[in-house]
Chains A and B, each alone.
Chain A
Amino acid sequence: MKWIGVALVAGSLLLPPLFAGDFYINLASQILIAAIFALSLNLLVGFGGMTSLGHASYLGVGAYISALLTSRYGFGHGAAALLSIVGTTAMAAFFGVIALRASGLGFLMITLALSQVLWGLAYRMSNVTNGDNGIAGLTRPAPFGISLDSPISFYWFALIVATFALVMMATFVSSAFGSSLKGVRDQPRRMAALGFNPWLIRWITFVYAGFWGGVAGLLYVYYHKYMHPTSLSTTSSAEALLGVIAGGSGTLGGPAVGAALVVLLKNYVSAYLERWNMLLGLVFLFIVLVTPTGIVPGVSRLTTRLRGGER
């Protein structure tokens, strides 16, 4: 059963380029990027019990650093990517120290406030970020001399990075450290009494999540070849959080599925009407009120029931 699922997923990821048109291939690339981003947020929300409303900070800053270094300061893509990841991770290390002074709602409010400040900064420091006009005319890198300009080549590139990211994050949460992390999520006091350092465990996870948020940001800016402050907005954080919750926080693949749904919804709705934020809000209400544990756990519970399994 499990292998059928894996085969289905692998098939659906490997086949589209063979017959789908550019529109769908690009959509698939966007889904992969959103999936990496949602998976990184899930490390915090699902496995660490730290609900962040400011995860767009890492995607946005990662993307901005690369965009600015390549377009304004003449850096090559390799060096820019490296600096962008290092910079984003360092920022996560700093923000983590601040936000982890609190937990629960305090943590949520601090992460939100920090990301809103960055968003305001991106709008207002227009001599650096070009403000509301955004930074246009960006290029994609050409790793090993292979151009990523065509939709298909970019899709393969995103697929490789996304697969690697998934494997790395899955290894992280199923490691001994991952067990410590889940323990701290459920019973922090108990874990401290057993000899675990809850703060450090959370902080390391926060930094790791920031790192993968930065990676998602790099892919994001490569894909769009354009950078605008909205990528730092609460909407951007909320979309990722919706993906995590809709797919099932604390499950391995759920957030990727959730992210895919959010991207598809956004694309199809935007084609017909401009009310994406309103729909996003409504979906939030719906998910929280109707399927609080998420779609993937909900569906798997349903299939177990249909197959006559217990519970």
Chain B
Amino acid sequence: MQFWIIQGLNSLSLGGLLFLLSSGFSLIFGLMRLANLTHGAFFMLGTYFAATAMRAYDGLNIWVAALGAGIAVAAVGGLFERLVLTRLKANPLGQVLVTLGMSFIISDACLMFWGGDSIPVPTPPNLQSPTRVFGFVFPTYRLVLVGCAIATAILLYFLIERTRLGAMIRAGVDDRQMARAVGIPVSNLFTLVFCLGAGIAGAGGVLGGPVLSAYPGLDADMLPLALIVVILGGIGSLLGAFIGSFIIGIIYTFGTALFPELAYIILFLPMIFVIAFRPQGLFGRVST
């Protein structure tokens, strides 16, 4: 019983982390029709920023670190979008290839600056003491992660469904030509959404830090999880990314706990199942 509850809570916290990772990917794909393969690297960049900043300034608040890293990674993403991606507007394949190239560059740069050893990110002191849930002891920080994911989901929902900016984004998703014709600055919108997506990934990387720590290859570990989440949930759908994250969180956590060697194969199964029976994903509107 204890096993199931603890692993269940672990699943939720991994799911939350995956949502912080994949919501930005899904947002960017939905508006820009761009598979941003740099996304794992953006996440890792956030984790490294946090590791460095929190070691340099002892007692630095993790929320401040997340905000700072989010802004920094958003800036990196914005530069990349403006300088490189906009030149390849008519070439979706070229866009994917440069995001792949960019991910190699970032990942090697991280290796160069931070070396090959894993760097732990400290858990915030006020969240270090465990919480009792149904009489079971559980790390508080992981519960907070779930809260962060839910808060992010709600914020994104309001941003997209309730604000003027969101209305423009939705118009751009539905019909780019039409949006441009009615005077929506689609190009600026692209940059903004790319920054936002990258920023969420960067902040997510910080928040994931205490659980994952910063290590070379973190990007390559995270990118496939993001891909599987969005393929499962439906590319470009926020709700899909949310549900998909928790499904994968559950499957991966229980898979690792029950069949440690096969966890990676178990990840395959829901993806294959969805592709076979619902190629557009659980909540996707268009198949790709």
Contact = CB atoms under 8 A, between A and B. Distances in A.
Nearest to A245: B97
Given A124-B263, A278-B104, A281-B105, A105 B35 contact: yes
Nearest to A278: B108
Interface in A108-140: 108-110, 112-114, 116-117, 119-121, 124-125, 127
Given A102-B279, A278-B108, A289-B87, 17 more contacts: A101-B279, A105-B92, A108-B35, A110-B231, A110-B271, A116-B224, A116-B227, A124-B261, A124-B263, A127-B261, A277-B107, A278-B109, A280-B101, A281-B100, A281-B103, A288-B94, A288-B98
A263 B102 CA distance: 20
Given A102-B275, A104-B92, A110-B231, A288 B224 contact: no
Nearest to A273: B112
Contacts of A233: 220
A20 interface: no
A299 to B, nearest CB: 20
A282 B101 CA distance: 6
A276 B104 CA distance: 9
Interface string B63-84: 0000000000000000000001
B191 to A, nearest CB: 18
B288 interface: yes
A11 B108 CA distance: 38
B221 interface: yes
A51 B96 CA distance: 10
A234 interface: yes
Contacts of A125: 261
Given A105-B33, A233-B220, A284 B98 contact: yes
Interface string A147-187: 00000000000000000000000000000000000000000
A102 B287 contact: yes
Interface in B2-30: 29
Interface in A255-311: 275-278, 280-285, 288-289, 292
Given A281-B103, A282-B101, A120 B224 contact: yes
A197 interface: no
A269 B197 CA distance: 34
A285 B287 contact: no
Contact of A292 (B84, B91, B287): B91
A278 B279 CA distance: 35
A288 B228 contact: no
Contact of B94 (A98, A108, A121, A292): A292
B181 interface: no
B275 A289 contact: no
Interface string B104-128: 1101110110000000000000000
B186 interface: no
Which 5 A-B residue pairs are closest in the complex by CB-CB distance? Answer: A284-B101, A106-B288, A281-B104, A116-B224, A281-B105
Given A102-B288, A121-B264, A285 B91 contact: no
A292 B97 CA distance: 11
Nearest to A292: B94
B91 A238 contact: no
Nearest to A233: B220
Interface string A44-82: 000000010100000000000000000000000000000
A284 B97 contact: yes
Contacts of B224: 112-113, 116-117, 120
A309 to B, nearest CB: 27
A113 B228 contact: yes
Nearest to A121: B264
A112 B101 contact: no
